[in-house]
Amino acid sequence: MATIVTPFDKMFLTSIWIETLLYGLNCAVFGTAMYVLIRKQSRNSNWFLIPVSIFLFSLSTGYVAVSFRQLLNAFIFAPPGGASAYFKIQTNPLAVTKLVLYSTNVTAQNLFLIWRLWGVWNRRWWVVVLPISNFSFFIIEKARHGDRAYSVRIYRNRRRRSPTIVNWCMDLAINICVTAAIAFRLWQMARTVGPSMPGHRQFLGIMRMILESGLLFATATLITVSIYLSGSLDTVNAIDGIVQLATITPLLIIVRVGLGLTAGQQSRDTEVDVPSKLEFITRSRLGASTNDDSEITDSTHVRTRPGAGMSDFDLHKVEESSV
């Protein structure tokens, strides 16, 4: 009976090629995101968004660089016909480095998502208690099992596959639940503003953008989990694409919001002009500390402020407009 030989060389060559295509898209999205953030550098939260965006993009760049080095080792420096044997060993330093970059990228993406949730919900700590608890368990599981979860040798070992399945399920839960909570809050904002107010449609547009971007990453993760559960060795290859998508997802939201590319909009002639700070606080809470130069809205009325942006999703409780 003939032995079936897994073509690891073709598998990894194809996956790295797809990864490179996604990285090219990543470069375009990152450049546009930097343009949006730097142009609006007066916004309060851009001090945070700019370094986070650079950090995520640096992880993606490092991942592509390691993949390129793997190709050199397998097809140039290795003996003829040794590429498949090289890629089969997933415990070599370069493979472990890629796993560390993947874990760091996904972890940073989840933290960024939780930070956005905290900001959208007016910095209420109780909103992020459950996501942070879930995230902490996710980190502990990753630290416990490390690179063993993705080793080619254990794909058919059900007992050792279980922690990996738990990790991915926790990752999916964080992404889906936190994204849904952000979208729900923006939907509440749209209802509070009312259909007749200028910011109503923009809130709904941003809500759809967040759902679409979150669905992109969640779908990629779900496909990877499905491949893993089927026992296929292509899971390692699917991770190459997830790393790029983990960076593209938050940057894409910044780009679409900053350039006004809301759902159903045919052109970008007009930017989205939604307040970065909203006021849902009554006069009784501010008391005499409010001066005559500020006008405070009540709990049922939201006023938009010209020139503000929503790329930071930093919805506070106070909005002051000069009279």
pTM, two decimals, is 0.73
Distance CA 150, CA 236 (A): 7
Assign 317 a pLDDT band (cuts: 50, 70, 90). very low
pLDDT of residue 303: 36
pLDDT tens-digit readout, 272-314: 443 343 333 333 334 433 333 333 233 223 333 433 444 444 4
Which range of residues forms the domain containing residue 110? Answer: 8-258
Q: What is the 3-state secondary structure (H, E, C) of 185-213?
A: HHHHHHHHHCCCCCCHHHHHHHHHHHHHH
> Please, are residues 181 and 232 in contact by the beta-carbon 8 Å criterion?
no
Domain membership of residue 167 (yes or no) is: yes
Q: What's residue 53's pLDDT?
A: 92
Indicate whether 293 belongs to any domain. no
Which residues touch 291 (CB under 8 Å, ≥6 apart)? Answer: none
Evaluate whether residue 289 is within a structural domain. no
Q: Report how far residue 173's alpha carbon sits from residue 182's, in angstroms, rounded to the nearest whole number.
A: 14
The helix (H) or strand (E) run that includes residue 294 is strand 294-295
Q: What is the pLDDT of residue 312?
A: 42
Query: pLDDT tens-digit profile of 219-245?
Result: 888 888 888 887 777 777 788 888 898
Single out the residue of 137, 57, 67 nearest to residue 95, CA to CA.
67
Q: What is the pLDDT of residues 110-143, one digit of tens each?
A: 888 888 888 888 888 888 888 888 778 777 766 6
Mean pLDDT, residues 36-62? 82
Residue 226 lies in a domain: yes
Report the number of distinct structural domains present in the chain. Answer: 1
Residues in Cβ contact with 47 at an 8 Å cutoff, skipping those fewer than 6 apart: none
- Range in 40-49, 165-174, 177-186, 256-265 with the lowest mean pLDDT: 256-265
d(CA 210, CA 208): 5
What pLDDT, on the 0 to 100 scale, is given for residue 43? 57
What pLDDT sits at residue 58?
Answer: 96
Report yes or no on 298 lying in a domain. Answer: no
User: Is 107 part of a structural domain of the chain?
Assistant: yes
Predicted pLDDT of residue 80? 85
Q: Is residue 1 part of a domain?
A: no
Question: Which amino acid is it at 252?
Answer: L
Q: Which of 268, 267, 321, 274 is nearest to 297 (CA)?
A: 321
Kindly report which listed range (51-65, 87-101, 275-289) carries the lowest average pLDDT score: 275-289
Within a domain: 292: no
Taking Cα atoms as reference points, which of 19, 26, 32 lies closest to residue 258? 32
Compute CA distances 204 → 33, 92, 122, 201, 252, whole Å: 21, 48, 18, 5, 17
Regarding predicted confidence, which is higher, 149 or 61? 61
In angstroms, rounded to a whole number, what is the distance separating the alpha carbons of residues 62 and 100?
11
Cβ atoms within 10 Å of 40's Cβ, excluding its own: 19
SS3 322: strand
For residues 47-75, give the mean pLDDT: 93
Q: What is the CATH number of the domain that holds 104?
A: 1.20.1070
160, pLDDT greater than 70: no
Q: Please provide the DSSP assignment of 141-163 as one string.
A: HHHHHGGGGG-GGGTT-HHHHHH
